Structure 1
C-alpha cells in the first residue's frame, strides 16, 4: 500500500524522468551512433515507466477488471522479449503523459469548486428580540431575519423587510452593476451590499440558496462523463481480454511465440494511448497561436460538431463596463451642464453616476463647479444647490417628486433610450430639463462580424442568456442579429436551457465569463470562458479566449 501511494504521489516525476531518458536514448543513437547505449537507456526508461502502470493493472485485476493498463503492461513485457525497447518506452511514456494531463484537469476542477465554496457566506447577523447576534450561516432558519451592512455578503435568499441598499449581484446574475434593493425586493445569497443596509427575511437557507445551487450544478456537471468517456470505459472491458485471447490463439495455431508476442505489441491500444496526448499537444499549440487555450484533444473533436452557440451578455458579448453612450442636451452651454452633473454625481458611488463622471473626464469639460449642498434620495437620485441654482439629477421618479415635467421632445428622447435597453439619468436645473443621459454596456469590438462569420461557417443557432432586463437584452440581440434571447434568468435557469438544447439533439457551446456562468459552462458540450473572466469560469471551461476578444 505504501509503495502504491509512493507511486501515485510521484507519477509526474516518473513521467518526466522517462521522457528525459527517451530523449537521451535518441541522442545516443542518432548523434553518437551508440546503439547499445540507446537500447540500455530505453530499457531503463521502460522499466521505470511500466512500474506505476503495472501496479494499476494489478489493482484492477484484483477487482476482476481487465483494464487498458493490463494490456499495456503485457505489451511492454512482450516488447522486451522481442527486443523492441523503443516501442515499450514510447508507449509507456505516452500512457503516463496522458494520465498526467487528465490529473491536471481534475486538479483544476477541484480548485475551481473549492474557490466557489470559499466564496460562500459563513456567518450571518441574526436579528433577535434583544438586538443582533453573530451566528453560523447554517444556524439560520427559514423565516429568520438577518441584518446585512455595507461591505457584507448576503447569507440567505430572501425578501427585504427593512432598509435600502445597492447590491453587487455579479456572483448570481453576472451583471457587474449595482442594483438598488428596497422593501419587498428579492435578494440572493452570495451577493454583496456595496452601499446601505438591509434586513432580510430568509426564504431559502443553506444548501437551498441560489449560490449553493451554483456550486452543486458545477460539481454535478464535472462528475458527468461524456459519451466518448463512457465508450472508452466499455471498450476497455472487452478489448483487453479479446487481444489476450487472440495472442493465445495465434500461438496455439502457429506455435510461433515471437508472432504471438508481436500480436500483443500490435494490439496495444495505440490510438487510445497516443491519441489524447498528441491531440492535446497539436490542438493547444495551434490554439495558442491564435490566443485560444484548448483543454484537451476531446475538446477539438467535440467542437467540430457544435451547431449551437449560447452566450452570456455582460462581459462576454459586451465589455462589462457601464458607460454613457448618449447625451441629449437642451441647453446652449452643454459643457457647463455636464461639468455640473459630474460634480454632483461625484459625491455618489452609484454606478450610473460614476459612468457620468467618467464621461465628463473623457470630454474634458473643465473645472467642476462648487456645490453648496447635496442630498441623496435612495433609489431616485440627488438634489444639489450650486450657487443660486437648484439641481435635480436622477430617474423619472425623482423628477416627478419635484414636479418637473418633460416636454414632448424630451419624453420621446427618454422613451427611445429606454426602448433601446439603456438606463437613463435626467438632470434639471431650476425646474428645467437640461440633460438626459443614456447609459449602457458597450458591445465588444468585432463581435458582430465574428458572429456573422460563425453563421456562414455552419452554426445554426446563436442564443443569448442573461440576467439583465428584457429591454437591454433585446437591444443587444437586435444589434448582433441573434436568433434567440432570454432575459431575467438565474444561473439554474440558464443551465436548464442549455440542457434543453442538448436534449433536442443540439451540440452546444456556452460562452461566459462570470461565476454565475460556470454551471452552464460545465454543463454544455463545450464550455468557453473569456480570459478576463473569473477563475471559476476559466477553470471549469474547455476553451479559454485568452484575449477576451472576438476576432473576425
Structure 2
C-alpha cells in the first residue's frame, strides 16, 4: 500500500490553465483528460484555474483535450509573467465576434433594402452565423454525435433549427449575443481569478544574496536555507527568514492584512512579500521558496477554491437533472401543439428552439463557485485564510463563538501592573531587587519583571546563590542579605501577613492578577502584581459579536477569579474556567447540542481537540505558526480579533449573494419560459435572458471583492 502511495506522489503533476471559460467546459476538460490512457486520476480546480494529473500526459495531450475551449496548459512552477495575458480585443474569438456583428448589421441593411427572402440577405446572415459560430458548431456537432448535451450542444441545435425554418436573422443575432456572452463571462471570471493571482506577484522572484564578499542576484528557487539575504530600505523581502543584523519597520499587510508596520530587530521573523520601510537588514533564510508563508497561503487558498460548498453541491446535482429536463420540455413544446392542436409547425418548432436556448444551465452552474472564489480571495488579501467553501458557509451560520483566553483574548505575555513598597525599600528598589533574582529564573512571570525593570531603567543589582523554590518562588543573596520572591503562601511560612495586606492581595487576585511578594525571612519589602494583558481590540470585537446576536464564551485553564475578571473586562457572555483540554472538548460538544453551530477560536496548538470538535476551528496568528495554518478551518494571519466579525459578515454576504444568484438564474429563465405560452419568446430574447442571467450572476458575485 505504501509503495502505491509513493508512486502516485511521484507521478502527480499540477498545471495552470489559461482560457478555461466556464464550469461546464471545466467538467468536460476533466473528462477528456481522464480518457487519456496513461492518466490514472485527474482533478480540476475551476476557481484557481488549475488541474492536477496523476499519471503521465504531455502538455500537447492536455491541450488537445482542452482544444474545444482553446485551453492553454502551463506547468505550475513556470511563472505566469512569462505568458503575457492576451489583450481582450486581440483574442481570436473576439475578433470573429466583431466580424459576426458586421455581417449581422449588413444583413439587416439588405433585409430592409431588398427583402427578407433575397439571397443577398440570407447569404449575409449565413456568413454572420458561420463566422461567429464556427467554433461553437464544431464542438456542438461533436457533442451531438456523442449524445453529450451541454450548453454548446443546445445552442448548435437551436441555431441550425432556426436556419432550417428560415429564421436566418434570428440565428445571426443569437450567434452574436452568445459570443458576446461568452466573452464577457470569460472576462468577468478572469477578474475574479486575478484577485488570487495577484498574491503570486507579492514576493520578488530575485533575492540579493551575500556570497563571500560579493552580493549576487539569485533566483528565489535557487536560494538555500541559511543563505544571507540583503534587504535595502523600500525593498520587498523575497524569502522567509530571521533578522541577523539591522532594525526596521516592516509592512506585513500582504501576509497579515494589517497596514500598520511592525518593528523588527535581530532574531525576529520576517516573511516573503513584506515591505522593508526604513533600515537595511541582513536576513538569514529559513525556508525554501516553495515553503514560504505566502506560498502556503496561495496553495491553501487555491485548494480551498476546489472544495465544493454545500450550496454548490446542491446546484451541481440540480443542474445534472435540469439540462435533460429542458431538452424534454423543448421537444414537447415543439411537437405537442402541432400534433394535437393543429398549430403551425414552424411557429412551435421555433418556440421549442427558444426554450433550448433559454434553458442553458450556465448561469445556474456558476452561481455558487464564482461567489465563493471571490469571497475567499477577498478574505486572503485581508489576512483571513478560509480553507474551503464549506467553512465560508459555516461562518455565516454560527450561533456561539468560544474563545481560548491566553494568547487569544489576551496578549499571552504577562505584564507588571503594580509595584508597591511595603518596607524600607523604595518602589524602584523593590523592582531592582526582584529583577536581580529573576535574572536566573525560567518562570514566565520572571520575564515580565525583567521587562518592567528595563522599561523603568532601575539600577542593576547582582544576585548570588540563586535557588528556585518549586511551586512557590525563588531566593538569592543580594548585598549579603537573603531575599525571597514568590507567592503569599511562601511568606506565610516566615512572617504574619497583616489583614490589610491580605485584603489588598485578595482584591488584586479577583482582578485577575498574580501577586508576588518580595522580602526576607523577617520582613516584607514589596508587592508586585502581574497580569496577562487583554488585547486592545478584544472588547470592541466582543461588542460587535453581541450586536450581531451571537453568544460569546471564554474557555480557560486559568483559575476562576482570573477568568471572571478578564470576562468582565471584555464583556463576554459567559466564562468557564479551570478547564483541561479534554474539558474544553466536552464544553464544545455541550454548546453544539444546546445552541447549534459553534466556532472555537484558539492558537491552533494547545486547543487542537476543541478546534477539531467545533463546527468551525479558527486559529490565531497563522503567519507565525505553520500548525495554525494547517490544522484550523480558518486562520487569522495576524493576531487581529476584529477579523472574526469581518469573516462572519463576509460569509453572510456571500450566502446572500449565492441565494440571489440562484434566484436570478432560475427566475429569469422561468419568466422567459412563461413567454412561450402567449408565443412571445423569440430566439434573440431567449439568448438575451440567458446572457443576462449569466452576467448578472458574475457581476453580482464580484461585489464581494469590495467587502470591508
Give TM-score, length-normalised by structure 2.
0.48
Give the Å deviation of 1:394.
1.7
Give the Å deviation of 1:462.
1.5
Matched, 1:279 2:362: no
For residues 225 and 304 of structure 1, what CA distance do their matches in structure 2 show? 16
Give the Å deviation of 1:494.
3.0
Instruction: Kindly report which structure 2 residues correspond to 1:288-303, keeping only aligned pairs within 5 A, or say none.
Output: 291-295=383-387, 301-303=393-395
Identify the residue that residue 50 of structure 2 maps to in structure 1.
Answer: 12
Give the Å deviation of 1:433.
1.2
Give the Å deviation of 1:384.
1.3
Matched length: 409
Change (3 A) 1:47 1:407: farther
Matched, 1:529 2:529: no
Identify the residue that residue 15 of structure 2 maps to in structure 1.
Answer: none
For residues 96 and 520 of structure 1, what CA distance do their matches in structure 2 show? 39
Identify the residue that residue 409 of structure 1 maps to in structure 2.
Answer: 500
SS in 2 for 1:479: helix
Give the Å deviation of 1:226.
7.5
Deviations 1:383-408 (A, max 9, x none): 2111231111122343244x233222
Change (3 A) 1:12 1:466: same
Change (3 A) 1:32 1:469: same
The partner residue of 2:574 within 471, 484, 490 is 484
Matched, 1:374 2:466: yes
For residues 360 and 389 of structure 2, what CA distance do their matches in structure 1 show? 20
Deviations 1:250-302 (A, max 9, x none): 45447777865665564454455323332234424554675544555665554
Identify the residue that residue 444 of structure 1 maps to in structure 2.
Answer: 535
Gaps of 5+ in 1: 59-69, 102-223
Change (3 A) 1:37 1:539: farther
Identify the residue that residue 393 of structure 1 maps to in structure 2.
Answer: 485
* Contact 1:247–1:261 (8 Å) recurs in 2: yes
Output the aligned Cα RMSD: 4.8
Identify the residue that residue 455 of structure 1 maps to in structure 2.
Answer: 546
For residues 369 and 316 of structure 2, what CA distance do their matches in structure 1 show? 18
For residues 605 and 557 of structure 2, what CA distance do their matches in structure 1 show? 13
Instruction: Kindly report which structure 2 residues correspond to 1:293-372, keeping only aligned pairs within 5 A, or say none.
Output: 293-295=385-387, 301-331=393-423, 332-367=425-460, 369-372=461-464
For residues 500 and 131 of structure 2, what CA distance do their matches in structure 1 show? 89
For residues 43 and 526 of structure 1, what CA distance do their matches in structure 2 show? 49
Instruction: Kindly report which structure 2 residues correspond to 1:130-529, keeping only aligned pairs within 5 A, or say none.
Output: 228=311, 231-232=314-315, 235=318, 238-239=321-322, 241-253=324-336, 263=355, 266-270=358-362, 273-284=365-376, 286-287=378-379, 291-295=383-387, 301-331=393-423, 332-367=425-460, 369-401=461-493, 403-456=494-547, 458-529=548-619
Gaps of 5+ in 2: 1-35, 52-62, 75-79, 101-129, 160-174, 196-306, 338-344, 646-708
SS in 2 for 1:435: strand
Change (3 A) 1:357 1:520: same
For residues 347 and 412 of structure 1, what CA distance do their matches in structure 2 show? 31
For residues 413 and 136 of structure 2, what CA distance do their matches in structure 1 show? 54
Change (3 A) 1:430 1:522: closer
SS in 2 for 1:335: helix
Identify the residue that residue 74 of structure 1 maps to in structure 2.
Answer: 150
Change (3 A) 1:77 1:535: farther
Larger radius of gyration: 2
For residues 605 and 137 of structure 2, what CA distance do their matches in structure 1 show? 44
* Contact 1:310–1:464 (8 Å) recurs in 2: yes
* Contact 1:322–1:439 (8 Å) recurs in 2: yes
Give the Å deviation of 1:237.
6.2
For residues 79 and 396 of structure 1, what CA distance do their matches in structure 2 show? 84
For residues 268 and 519 of structure 1, what CA distance do their matches in structure 2 show? 46
Deviations 1:356-392 (A, max 9, x none): 112211221122x222322222222222111231111
Change (3 A) 1:232 1:524: farther
Instruction: Kindly report which structure 2 residues correspond to 1:70-149, keeping only aligned pairs within 5 A, or say none.
Output: 74-79=150-155, 82=159, 83=175, 84=178
The partner residue of 1:548 within 636, 639, 642 is 639
Give TM-score, length-normalised by structure 1.
0.60
For residues 619 and 353 of structure 2, what CA distance do their matches in structure 1 show? 47
Give the Å deviation of 1:341.
1.0
Identify the residue that residue 183 of structure 1 maps to in structure 2.
Answer: none
* Contact 2:335–2:349 (8 Å) recurs in 1: no
For residues 32 and 275 of structure 1, what CA distance do their matches in structure 2 show? 24
Give the Å deviation of 1:347.
0.7
* Contact 1:346–1:357 (8 Å) recurs in 2: yes
* Contact 2:588–2:598 (8 Å) recurs in 1: yes
Deviations 1:13-32 (A, max 9, x none): 57983899997484237998
* Contact 1:530–1:545 (8 Å) recurs in 2: yes
Change (3 A) 1:466 1:353: same
Deviations 1:482-534 (A, max 9, x none): 21111233444434433433333534333222323345445444443323564
Identify the residue that residue 97 of structure 2 maps to in structure 1.
Answer: 35
Deviations 1:130-186 (A, max 9, x none): xxxxxxxxxxxxxxxxxxxxxxxxxxxxxxxxxxxxxxxxxxxxxxxxxxxxxxxxx
